[in-house]
Amino acid sequence: MTVELLETALAFGGEQRKYRHDSEVLQCAMTFSLYLPSNSEGKELPLLWWLSGLTCTDDNFSQKSGFQRLAEKYQMAVVIPDTSPRGADVADDTGWDLGQGAGFYVDATQMPWAQNYQMYTYLTQELSEVVKPLIPNFSGKESITGHSMGGHGALVLGLRNPDRFQAISAFAPILNPMQVPWGEKALTAYLGDDQTTWKAWDASELIKTAPQVPILITQGEADGFYETQLKETTFLKNALENDQKVDYQKFAGYDHSYFFISTFLEDHFAFHAKYLK
């Protein structure tokens, strides 16, 4: 598979890169970003996955969060995929919360979405095979985090692959998509009306039977989406019943923005570093 390097820039001693490749799984061209720390000591590097939220591309986190300082400090490679397939021939919707920019990290079964929207398989298989050879001295250890829709994605990928991801964290995640407007709209479109098929993509359902895995969640109490889209009650109840420990933190005054993410980002990097080394 041909992987084209589009951009590169030094940041905090490491290198921020942007790539493009043709995805067989998604049947379109895809971009992703990758940060490689300086690794001056030539040690083995772990990989942290960042999954972004609705309307985002791989540029939002790389350009707004300042994460590179932390990736260099903790000596982690960080990969940032796009949030959906893209292109003129890829199905889309007039709403910002469905279609391009809103893949929800599922494998769609309903047309016209099924032809391209296989984001789970793309991330866990194809993109993984593309990214890992690009990391010098890759240790084989991985962890995953994300924001909003990407927080949902991080929890779903992490809980479905507990032997692969050492830890999971999320900022303002959609914890129970089966029960909130964003999730109901997306899961109906991508998976159909049979809600039993939705359970495989809902963290509140997956946590009922998931093996023990470290989880950190940070939520701002002034988040405008909190009450209608991001409530934690069912997820935490099901986690408790499964003896799954979750460090769920709420902070007064913080919203859904990258100001919120940047404020607490080092807490998440330190959390993942603990389990990756």
Both tokens assigned to 61: 């986190």
- Quick one: residue 252, left, alpha or beta (phi over 0 = left, psi -120 to 50 = alpha)? beta
The full length of the chain comes to 277
Strands (E), 24-129: 28-36, 45-51, 77-81
Is 256 a catalytic site residue?
yes
Catalytic hit among 62, 223, 268, 272: 223
Segment holding 239, helix H or strand E:
helix 233-241
Bridge-based pairing of strands 165-171 and 215-220 is parallel
Both tokens assigned to 207: 């946590």
Catalytic hit among 33, 65, 169, 256: 256
Catalytic hit among 148, 152, 202, 272: 148
Is 148 a catalytic site residue?
yes
What's the Cα-to-Cα distance from 272 to each of 37, 78, 146, 170, rounded to whole Å? 16, 12, 12, 11
C-alpha to C-alpha distance for 4 and 7, rounded to whole angstroms: 9
Supply φ then ψ for residue 31, to 5 degrees: -110, 155
Q: Are 32 and 61 in contact (CB under 8 A)?
A: no
Active site residues: 148, 223, 256
